[in-house]
Amino acid sequence: KQEVTQIPAALSVPEGENLVLNCSFTDSAIYNLQWFRQDPGKGLTSLLLIQSSQREQTSGRLNASLDKSSGRSTLYIAASQPGDSATYLCAVMGAQKLVFGQGTRLTINP
């Protein structure tokens, strides 16, 4: 059974810092890994998708990496801003279903 773990559960940093969110998964037989953002009481916004054959993807200040063999992914956020405050979720797509981690609640302090 696929299990996805995100560390840390919560993170608070001052504005302008670079930061890294971590995601690990137990079964490396995945089709892809996605990073999502969720604002309080809202739905999910897809940030980055990494196919299983890829090692990283970049979008603006966000960079996500994937090491399938070790079951790890990181989301790097450069020059953080207060508007980045949200919960960040990683999810892995297997043959059967899309499995989520518990999320990292990020707070960027002005």
Partner 1 sequence: EADIYQTPRYLVIGTGKKITLECSQTMGHDKMYWYQQDPGMELHLIHYSYGVNSTEKGDLSSESTVSRIRTEHFPLTLESARPSHTSQYLCASSALGATVVNTEAFFGQGTRLTVV
d(CA 96, CA 48): 21
d(CA 68, CA 16): 30
Query: Contact between 21 and partner 1 (CB under 8 A)?
Result: no
Q: Which amino acid makes up residue 54? A: Q
Interacting residues with partner 1 between 56 and 95 (CB under 8 A): 89, 91, 93-95
> Would you say 18 or 107 has its CB closer to partner 1?
107
Instruction: Give min distance, CB of 18 to partner 1, in A.
Output: 26
d(CA 27, CA 47): 22
d(CA 16, CA 38): 21
- Pick one of 65, 103, 104, 108: the residue that binds partner 1 (CB under 8 A): 103
- Classified as helix, coil or strand, 66 is strand
Stretch near partner 1 under the rule CB under 8 A, chosen from 20-28, 46-54, 56-64, 73-81:
46-54
Residues lying near partner 1 in the complex (CB under 8 A): 31-32, 34, 36, 40-44, 46, 49, 51, 89, 91, 93-103
